[in-house]
């Protein structure tokens, strides 16, 4: 075998090994641990907001986001004070979806007992979460609902949002803007890029 061909084969083998190592490393779960305070806002009318409460958020889990994964997998807990079903509940399920940021629905299983004292699992949802890859900030569009057995209860989404880290309305609105959101009174959180495209179509 010619020397040049051997060199090419060795280089190809090394490249394949490096590629496989990089892929393997990308699938190793990364520990995420964050604690910060945020605020829950309610939009009362167009361009008018009020702070409902200050909240403390604690995130502890692992994120796996491989090169060929279409969305990240989070295994852990996200606790939001004032929402009891999120506390000490390590079984949070976040179904992430593709989009302009990491987004998904937050659902927590809660063990309860029915009238016959039989154990049952009720699913409580806090709403829709939007975050970045290291979970250093987040936006939760509150849409509480409860599902148990054959029925479900839909809360009142649209006019409340949790933003963290933030201590005042200006900081919260700036963080919403950094995620590409505007808060429309009639619709709740809306992606600004989507609004721009719709305006171009209307014109």
DSSP 8-state secondary structure symbol assigned to residue 54: E
Domains of the chain, by residue range, sit at 3-202
Q: What is the pLDDT of residue 164?
A: 93
**Amino acid 195: pLDDT:** 57
Beta bridge partners of 77: 60
Give the model's pLDDT for residue 98: 55
Q: Rounded to an integer, what distance in angstroms lies between the CA atom of residue 124 and that of residue 108? A: 5
pLDDT at position 100 is: 47
pLDDT of the residue at 89: 82
76, β-bridge pairs: 61
| Residues of the chain falling short of pLDDT 50 | 100
> Residue 58: its pLDDT value, please?
93
Strands (E), the chain: 30-45, 48-64, 73-80, 93-97, 102-113, 119-131, 138-148, 151-154, 160-164, 181-184, 188-191
3-class SS at 56? strand
């Amino acid at each position: 075998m010619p020397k040049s061909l051997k060199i090419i084969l060795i280089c190809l083998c090394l490249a394949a090994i490096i590629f496989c190592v990089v892929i393997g490393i990308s699938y190793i779960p990364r520990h995420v641990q964050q604690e910060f305070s945020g605020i829950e806002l309610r939009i009362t009318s167009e361009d008018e907001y009020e702070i409902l409460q200050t909240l403390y958020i604690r995130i502890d889990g692992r994120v796996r986001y491989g090169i060929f994964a279409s969305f990240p997998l989070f295994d852990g807990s996200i606790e939001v004070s004032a929402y009891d079903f999120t506390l000490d509940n390590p079984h949070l399920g976040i179904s992430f979806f593709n989009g302009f940021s990491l987004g998904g629905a937050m659902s927590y299983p809660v063990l309860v007992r029915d009238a016959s004292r039989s154990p049952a699992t009720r699913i409580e949802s806090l709403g829709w979460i939007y975050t970045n890859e290291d979970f250093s900030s987040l936006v939760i569009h509150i849409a509480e609902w409860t599902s148990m057995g054959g029925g479900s209860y839909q809360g009142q989404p649209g006019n409340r949002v949790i933003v963290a880290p933030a201590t005042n309305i200006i900081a919260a609105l700036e963080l919403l803007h950094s995620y590409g959101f505007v808060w429309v009174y009639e619709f709740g959180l809306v992606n600004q890029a989507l609004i721009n495209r719709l305006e171009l179509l209307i014109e």
